[in-house]
Amino acid sequence: MNGGDVNDVVLVGFDVHAIQAYVFAPIRPIDISGGSWLLERFGRDVRTRIERDHGGRTVYVGGGNGMFVLPELAVARRAADEIERLFAKCTKGGAICSAAVGVGPDFQVARRELAAALHARKNGRWLEEATVDLRSPEPPGSLCQACGREPPVSDPDRVGDRSERIGEQCRVRRQAGRTDEPAVPGLVELAFARDLEALLEPPAADGAGDRSSRALAVLYLDADRAGERIAGFDTADALREFAEALQGGVRTATATALDERGLQRRVMVPVIGGDDVLLIAEASVAAGLLASLWDGLDAEVGARPGPTAGLTFSAGLAVADRFVPIGVMVGAARDALHDAKHATYLARQAGGPPQPHVHAVSLGGVRRSGGTGTLFGGSIPRGHWGFGAHCSAPTVEETARAIAGVSATQRSGLLADLTATGELRSLTIDYRAARDRSRSLADAVACAGELARACGQGSPWELLRSAIFAVELGWV
């Protein structure tokens, strides 16, 4: 970095390390929401300070990172120090935020300098500072009961009729989770986190209650190939315009989808990245919610003229019993998103129309039909999803509707048949379909077969098995 020419572009950037590990360290939804809300509030504070106290301009801020244009180098260095201090105070050392400065004769050079400086700063700090002392000699019983990663502070915190000994980091998270401060519209739904707390209470001993309502889903979407576009912007204004359009579009689309599905206060939306969409909801609404999100993202982002035109959003979907820790589900949804993006990429390489995919996984424990692992035999293109999204037949929804028309007895027999392998499976299912006078089973098998061919799958069996799961989750 040089000493700074008056015409140089001076940038300050920050990045929160391992943001998901921080947000999802606690088990309780209220603590997860609180941590997410702290990050959101931190981003706003930084923006205000940089603009008001340092005369800077915001390029973008969101989801644990940000970039600003500062008037001069000395001011930029002070601003970077302040960002790091502010973050440490805000999370009580629960996570690390690194900030650095980049200078260059133009935006592209300054941005490369900033990326390198930020990288170096992060690497250095990983060695210097440990966020959490995992080598604590204390027995597990004397660790924070919310995250199990920090020493508890002396006085217990009351949750419902229990008291918990929690640490300083979780205490600030929980305080944030309990504030009644209005959340960003449609985002960080603290209300749902509180409702979820109640849902997570152990079920009644008599096993009463609808089992399907106990399943949760994590939906994780982000823009395909956004990185390529970002790298192409050669001025701060162009990048700002893109970031604003993308962030604003994603937020509006999310709020609209929740509104359309009547899901306000029923979905938790932790902030984990500038333009990622992460939603935690009851599993029964996940398929329709994804369809509404896709439509909304099209309307607000992809179909808008301007810098975001043509962007698509692939999706990962993880379904599990609600006693599976949310952090584990988010990890599974993130892996599923990678698979979906890969499928989207391969389809594009093959010369198909640009269309996002969804990759769905079950973590088990919900229904035996769900099993564990990939659902629907692989990633499904948006055009074959259904559930309200504009689709060309055949769709997953159609197959599930066909299965819903099959009698419960036949369905459970079919599920048993599906556990067989090879030729035997095909023979027993054909035999069962032939004996079914209502023809509904034969229709469902035909529907799954059509869908399998359309999605390039070798056999319809995984689609059929997952369609039974979809019916049990209440998707149709």
Shortest CB 205 distance to Zn ion, Å: 30
SS (HEC) of 211-266: HHHHEEEEEEEEECCHHHHHHHCCCHHHHHHHHHHHHHHHHHHHHHHHHHCCCCCC
CB-wise, 169 or 410, nearer to Zn ion? 169
Cα 155 to Cα 168, 195, 384: the distances in Å are 11, 26, 54
Decide: 254 and 279 in contact? Cβ < 8 Å: yes
Tokens of 462: 């995984």
Please tell me the distance from the alpha carbon of residue 386 to that of residue 397, in angstroms, as a whole number: 5
| Residue tagged 């260095």 (tokens) | 77
CB-wise, 146 or 375, nearer to Zn ion? 146
Question: What is the residue-wise DSSP string for 96-116?
Answer: -EEEEEEEESSHHHHHHHHHH
Cα 95 to Cα 18, 36, 85, 179, 352: the distances in Å are 8, 12, 12, 21, 42
Shortest CB 21 distance to Zn ion, Å: 13
CB-wise, 139 or 262, nearer to Zn ion? 139
Centre a 10 Å sphere on the Cβ of residue 374 and count the other Cβ atoms it contains.
16
CB-wise, 26 or 316, nearer to Zn ion? 26
Please tell me the distance from the alpha carbon of residue 382 to that of residue 343, in angstroms, as a whole number: 11
Shortest CB 34 distance to Zn ion, Å: 11
Please tell me the distance from the alpha carbon of residue 247 to that of residue 103, in angstroms, as a whole number: 26
CB-wise, 43 or 167, nearer to Zn ion? 167
Shortest CB 286 distance to Zn ion, Å: 29
Shortest CB 133 distance to Zn ion, Å: 12
Please tell me the distance from the alpha carbon of residue 277 to that of residue 186, in angstroms, as a whole number: 11
CB-wise, 133 or 430, nearer to Zn ion? 133
Compute φ and ψ for 36, nearest 5 degrees: -65, -40
Strands 215-223 and 313-321: antiparallel
Tokens of 474: 């209440």
Shortest CB 166 distance to Zn ion, Å: 5
- Helix axis angle for 73-91 and 168-178, nearest 10°, is 90
CB-wise, 150 or 275, nearer to Zn ion? 150
Please tell me the distance from the alpha carbon of residue 29 to that of residue 17, in angstroms, as a whole number: 21
Shortest CB 40 distance to Zn ion, Å: 20
Q: How far apart are the first and last CA of the chain?
A: 59
CB-wise, 39 or 433, nearer to Zn ion? 39
Please tell me the distance from the alpha carbon of residue 411 to that of residue 465, in angstroms, as a whole number: 10
Q: Which residues bind Zn ion (CB under 5 A)?
A: 144, 146-147, 150, 167, 170
Shortest CB 1 distance to Zn ion, Å: 38
Shortest CB 148 distance to Zn ion, Å: 7
CB-wise, 27 or 109, nearer to Zn ion? 27
CB-wise, 173 or 465, nearer to Zn ion? 173
Shortest CB 23 distance to Zn ion, Å: 13
